[in-house]
Structure 1
Amino acid sequence: MRGGLLVAGTTSDAGKSVVTAGICRWLARRGVKVAPFKGQNMSLNSFVTRDGAEIGRAQAMQAQAARVEPSALMNPVLLKPGGDRTSQVVLMGRPVGEMSARGFFGAPGGPEAGQPVPGGREALLDTVVGCLEELRATHDVVVCEGAGSPAEINLRRTDIVNMGVARAGRLPVLVVGDIDRGGVFASFFGTTALLAPEDQSLVAGYLVNKFRGDVSLLEPGLDMLRTLTGRPTYGVLPFQHGLGIDEEDGLRVSLRGTVRESPAGEPHGTEVLRIAVCAVPLMSNFTDVDALAAEPGVTVRFVDRPEETADADLVVVPGTRGTVAALRWLERRGLAEALRRRAAEGRPVLGICGGFQLLGEGVEDEVESRAGTVEGLGLLPVRVRFAVEKTLARPSGTALGERVDGYEIHHGVADVLGGEPFLDGCRRGSVWGTHWHGSLESDGFRRAFLRQVAAQAGRGFVPAPDTSFAALREEQLDRLADLIERHTDTDALCELIAAGPPPGLPFVPPGAP
């Protein structure tokens, strides 16, 4: 089989990322050499490839689903929001500037910071299509993921990720709709109706996601949808818990009150270990704590009030794209004082990347916030200076007597002035800090760390001796593939991927001018 497919969605969070991963793993299990692709991604959850390129973590997860090594070709444009109006633009794995949306496309008015991308939308589309074609030349199938909705008509002129790339690459488009939100038929119909005829001709059909109940009750609606649009529905995926792996956008998700229970349910030892994660602004790489939640007997919740940390055995301050903004937020919310009190009482705190930086004595920032020198929480003997050049690395090392692998994505350069060495950072008493993302995925290190946390917290918790985060991730990816295999018309999907867009499906919505 050779070909390609674009998985679009009626909305953000319709399930495009997990459907793309599921199709990749399903094809890989069939012996197809497959690669994922997303021309442009907006996310604070990113990853570093082996050659030091920064890409969306969702594409790294999809590469794992496809059983291939992730590369910058799979996500040539990554936008990392730094506020309501600006984002850092990462092009082919390297940051090229902090820009407004207008500056990003070289539009009049320019960026609020930095310089517009040279050549604007045309140059970006050429880069995106070039990466897609390079992947198509070296793989049997490329499964592309769209962004948001393809029917965002205000953005169509500058689109390099949805119908723009589908038209340039002559890709058939499968539109995913989240029926759990309601209105899925209107969403499918309206999405198709709003597209230009040339784009409509690429829309091959639909995929219903997150369905609860008896599929036979849905079938009359699917038949009516086909009559109205001329397009089939390729499958109905049932709602399943625990499939939201490596979410893209922490800004869109309300994390307060979220609890990720361990899949095994019961603690291995005599007690549960409770972990609270501060839901700081512009939170990045919040999936760092997924490995903690994978441990039997560990509960993880995101919090934004000091009282929510009172019963926590460990408080994690995660990465953030706004270290200074996070510091001020912690102070306003009363969480800064709660963290200081925990440290004074010898209760465990872990800071990762931006969270590590703000636990130090001070931050000198003329790059990210341009706030100058700002006093930190003073819990670690560290001073941080922000450099223009971003550190992108895949370090390995040893800590707590165990091998650790991680990845680094940060502008802050930490000057460690004391304490005990801990990865690239330090530990003082019950407070730990490191720039290394992903370190907790190293099973032996994670267990050793949790044993120390439990001892400091006075808990009898004992980590299970055989939990493998990598194996659990593989199980999740296989579950996604099982959903595709069992609940879609796989013969029709194979034919669509191989044959390309159907020949000019007509669609004139009732009442259209």
Structure 2
Amino acid sequence: MSGAILIAGTTSDAGKSVVTAGICRWLARQGVSVAPFKAQNMSLNSMVTADGAEIGRAQYMQAQAAGTEPRAIMNPVLLKPGSDRRSQVVVKGRPVAEVDALQYGAFKDELRTIVNDSLAELRAQYDVVVCEGAGSPAEINLRAGDLVNMGLARAADIPVIVVGDIDRGGVFASLYGTVALLEPEDQALIAGFVINKFRGARELLEPGLDQLKKLTGRPTLGVLPWQLGLYLDSEDTLALEAPRPDAQAPHGEETLRVAVVRFPRISNFTDLDALLCEPGVAVRYAASPGDLADADLVVLPGSRATVQDLAWLRERGMADEIEKRAKQNRPVLGICGGYQMLARTIRDDVESKQGQVSGLNLLPADVTFHQHKTLARPKGEAYGHEVEAYEIHHGIVRHQGEPFLDGCRSGAVWGTTWHGALENDAFRRAFLEDVAKTANRKFVPAPDVSFRALREKTLDKLGDLIADHLDTTALRSLIEEGAPKGLKIVPPGGPVTETR
């Protein structure tokens, strides 16, 4: 079996990443060597590969689903927004520029070559490459410079499946409209649809599926049922708006309440996924002082704009609440950008270019931003347990006080630049025990929860979704043979006609 396919979506968060991961796991189970690919990803959730390259967390997770080592060419272009108008451009795992949307256009020709070469390299090394689009392929204002959706599909002659989220409503209009807005040459590669997050009786959906096929000439290849708890390495903060799984029953006498500050430029919030798997830990995202009041632990997560998000924290009155907590010896954890905010001073001539600003002064530390970006996969020890993590930051922290991982602790305040530390089971349990003791809570971590095992179980569940609910015969045919010839063209508002 050999070939490629592209998974597009009617919107962001329609389920492209989940379907891509599911297809990767489904193929890997059959002994097919498979790799994920996303030409251009805009995300503040990233990961460091074994060789020190930065890629989107979703592509890292998809490589795990495929049973292969994550690599920079699986996500050759990563955009990390620092404001509403500017993003850091990461190419093949290394930052190369900080640009606005108009400046980014000047990079497109060079990046298109890099994207096409990366895809060609993967296709030469793997039997199948499962590509993921970005946003919607029907963003007609961006089509001329597109290199991740139909631009990629056209360049590499790859068939495309469009995923629609029925839970949001309007899925038939979204699927039909997506096809209708595309140029005829783009429509010729749209081979079918997948409906995601369906709840209810399938027979009630069938008349709509039949009519959609009549209108577009394309089949719906599967209807994926609603699944609670598939929060796998989301690319953007839309995932934070979705309902989170209900907390499991506590292993001890009490639930541990964790409030995570939802910064405007929150990054690597996947750090908290390991807490979601802990029975009795209730995680919520906070945007006001009242959201922090009854928390047993407040977490300041990563930020792509540390100085600006610190200012936001002060403007919202949340900084005062956090400072009050520290004085009352109530637990606070800062990770990466959140750790930097807890320091005495921050010297930033790189991201915000605001020079020296005052931190929250809750840890004996000082931060200086460097032009060079630290990308690493460190190992260490805390609470007597080994810890593996990863680092992605410009800010270098110099600290005194009691050591904590690579950072420090002062009273009930902890800080570290290490992402992913909480995924280490023994360390996570020991840290939560310390938090509970400090917070005077009768919380006991479960002794047998394995985050990695739960992750593998979830990836298997994604593979099951593909095997059980998609037309895998049709999927195989698309991968091996490409889009069927003579697919119908759907003019906006007009009758269906045949392609030439």
TM class by smaller structure: over 0.9
One-letter amino acid of the counterpart of residue 391, structure 2:
E
Q: Which residue of 2 aligns with 1:302?
A: 285
1:258/1:301 contact within 8 Å kept: no
Deviation, structure 1 residue 187: 1.1
The equivalent residue for 2:498 is none
Q: In the alignment, what sits opposite 1:427?
A: 409
1:269: how far off? 1.0
CA distance in 1, matches of 2:235, 2:385: 30
CA positional deviation for 1:185 = 1.2
Aligned AA (2:153)? A
1:153 match: secondary structure:
coil
> Which residue, out of 435, 453, 456, partners 1:474?
456
Q: How far did 1:499 drift?
A: 0.9
Distance in 1 between the 2:257 and 2:245 partners? 11
Q: Which amino acid aligns with 1:204?
A: A
Question: Partners of 1:67 and 1:508 in 2: how far apart?
Answer: 39
Query: Counterparts of 2:166 and 2:299 in 1: how far apart (Å)?
Result: 34
Q: Deviations over 1:290-344 (max 9, x none)?
A: 1011111111000111122121111000000111111111111111111111111
The answer to whether the Cα contact below 8 Å between 2:181 and 2:492 also exists between their aligned partners in 1 is no
CA-based RMSD = 1.3
**Structure 1 residues 510, 376: CA separation in 2 closer, same or farther (over 3 Å shift)?**
closer
Aligned to 1:73: 73
- Residue 493 (str. 1) matches residue 480 (str. 2): no
Change (3 A) 1:197 1:258: closer
> Which residue does the alignment assign to 2:85?
85
Give the counterpart letter for 2:136 in structure 1: S
**Contact conserved, 2:180 with 2:492, CA < 8 A, in 1?**
no
Query: Paired residue for 2:109, among 113, 118, 122?
Result: 122
Aligned AA (1:103): Q
**Correspondences of 1:101-500 after superposition (within 5 Å):** 101-106=101-106, 120-250=107-237, 252-253=238-239, 255=241, 259-262=244-247, 265-416=248-399, 418-500=400-482
In the alignment, structure 1 residue 502 sits paired with structure 2 residue 484:
yes
Structure 1: gaps of 5 or more residues: 107-119
1:109 corresponding residue in structure 2: none
CA distance in 2, matches of 1:259, 1:73: 32
| Unaligned residue ranges in structure 2 (runs of 5+) | 496-500
SS at match of 2:489: coil
Is residue 259–residue 299 contact of structure 1 (8 Å, CA) maintained in 2?
no
Q: Which residue of 2 aligns with 1:24?
A: 24
TM-score, L = length of structure 1: 0.95
323-332 or 435-444, larger mean C-alpha shift: 323-332
Query: Residue type matched to 2:89 in 1?
Result: V
Distance in 2, Cα, partners of 1:508 & 1:283: 40
The aligned counterpart of 1:110 is none
Give how far 1:214 is off: 0.9
Partner AA of 2:469 in structure 1: H
Divergent runs of 4+, >6 A? none
Tell me, yes or no, if the aligned pair for 1:260 and 1:301 is still in contact at 8 Å. Answer: no
- Return the offset for 1:274: 0.7
Does structure 2 retain, via aligned residues, the 8 Å contact 1:18–1:244? no
Distance in 1, matches of 2:12 and 2:287, equals 24
TM-aligned CA deviation for residue 478 of structure 1: 1.0
CA contact (8 A) 1:395 1:407 kept: yes
Distance 2:332 2:163 in 1: 41
In 1, Cα distance between the equivalents of 2:231 and 2:299?
A: 21
Q: CA deviation at 1:181?
A: 1.2
SS in 1 for 2:233: coil
> How far, CA to CA, are the matches of 1:510 and 1:307 in structure 2?
49
Q: Which position in structure 2 is the counterpart of 1:112?
A: none
